[in-house]
Structure 1
Amino acid sequence: MPERNQAVLDFLLSRRSRPAKTLTGPAPERAEIETLLTAAARTPDHGKLEPWRFIVLERKALGRLAELARDRGAALGKDEADIAKVVDQYAQSPLAVIVVESPVISDKIPVIEQTYSAGAVALALLNAALAAGWGASWLTGWAVHDPDFAARGLGLAPHERVVGTIHIGTETAAPPERPRPDMNRIVTWRSA
């Protein structure tokens, strides 16, 4: 029998993201963020291409992005409620990490496998933050999919895109449990 790491299994069976609007300071210090990023970067990566990267957003940068989101939302004709939702994500966050998919040209590794790896990195970062005792939430929103916001605000190259924004801070309220998938509905067993 393999050696069981029950603590990790218990964590995974009970993990729960924390809504970003319930996060406040303090946020992790740089050394702890580096540890969380190191854990996330251990994600499966076929071909060792590292088709992802991180952008750590501290308070001043988050404030600048909140203003850019307000300007871009108005320029794009977004509804005031849609603009406010994204602006608040940046304005109220104590710290955020943008996970960027940055695919690498490869004859052997299809881009879709690189996309899967980038998504896995985002989940690994979220789980590392939660396992370290922080509140954390994975969000996107219209702004990160806007090419102008991505280029001007985040410095993304044309071939890159945001997988997610992982907000990390101190949780102010534990979220209630939510319904989970019915395993009988989503699992198919094949024995032959």
Structure 2
Amino acid sequence: MDGLSLLLERHSCGRLVAPAPQGAALETILQAALAAPDHGGLHPWHFILCEGDGRERLGALLAAAAEGRGEGPEAVDKLRQAPLRAPLVAVVVSRAIDHPKVPVLEQQLSAGCAAMAMQMAAQAQGFGGIWRSGWVMFDPGVHQALGLADGEQIVGFVYLGTPETPVVGPRRRLDSAKFVRYL
């Protein structure tokens, strides 16, 4: 698949099964993430990979956060099971660095670009992915359990694996005129 087709046919795949990207395929995904736009060469991101039992540990800490918020048993269980929906979950973390020319927002956007690059690199290799978010990204207990430092922020959970069913049909195109204006 050429690059332009990959961008135009980008899609999220919520039903993922084994195998997950491994070896050279996973390294390609990580290298794509590390090639994200990075003003100043700050490398303002890092990734926590959760596979195997790591997905269960991630689920347990998400469930603990839900319990801490007073969520009901269904919501707690849903978060406990969430990382098991894919064989590999990458927690994408922005690592903001105090810099006179590169504001924190720009560094967080760079981490977001890294997350998208992961998903695109997975799709280019025949895998699937979905970028998930939610209130747990901002929960101090989740940050502490993952060992995040002050100034670090989760920008998403990128679920990766093999699509359970093939994607069929072309992606719906939006009318660009509805989103563009000229100055």
Normalised to the residue count of structure 1, the TM-score between the two structures is 0.86
Structure 2 unaligned regions, length at least 5: none
String of CA shifts for 1:93-116, please: whole Å, max 9, x gaps. Answer: 201111100011111212221122
Task: Give 1:180 shift.
Answer: 4.5
In angstroms, what is the RMSD of aligned CA positions? 1.9
Residue in 2 that maps onto 1:10: 5
Structure 1 unaligned regions, length at least 5: 1-5
Runs of 4+ in 1 over 6 A off after TM superposition: none
Which amino acid counterpart does residue 60 of structure 2 have in structure 1? Answer: E
Higher alpha-carbon deviation: 159-168 or 106-115:
106-115
String of CA shifts for 1:53-103, please: whole Å, max 9, x gaps. Answer: 111111111111112222221121124443333222213320111110001
Which amino acid counterpart does residue 16 of structure 1 have in structure 2? Answer: H
Residue 80 (structure 2) aligned to one of 82, 87, 91? 87
2-structure distance, mates of 1:9, 1:97: 25
String of CA shifts for 1:19-58, please: whole Å, max 9, x gaps. Answer: 1xx1111111133212211111111111001111111111
Percent identity at matched positions? 37
Indicate conservation of the 8 Å contact 2:46/2:92, yes or no: yes
Correspondences of 1:1-192 after superposition (within 5 Å): 7-19=2-14, 22-152=15-145, 154-174=146-166, 179-190=172-183
2-structure distance, mates of 1:79, 1:43: 39
Higher alpha-carbon deviation: 176-185 or 116-125:
176-185
Higher alpha-carbon deviation: 181-190 or 91-100:
181-190
Would you say how many aligned residue pairs link Structure 1 and Structure 2? Answer: 182
Which amino acid counterpart does residue 9 of structure 2 have in structure 1? Answer: S
1-structure distance, mates of 2:162, 2:128: 5
1-structure distance, mates of 2:100, 2:88: 37
Indicate conservation of the 8 Å contact 2:93/2:153, yes or no: yes
Which amino acid counterpart does residue 52 of structure 2 have in structure 1? Answer: R
Task: Give 1:9 shift.
Answer: 0.9
Which amino acid counterpart does residue 15 of structure 1 have in structure 2? Answer: R
Indicate conservation of the 8 Å contact 1:86/1:141, yes or no: no
Normalised to the residue count of structure 2, the TM-score between the two structures is 0.90
String of CA shifts for 1:125-164, please: whole Å, max 9, x gaps. Answer: 1111111110101001222321111211x21112101011
Which amino acid counterpart does residue 105 of structure 2 have in structure 1? Answer: I
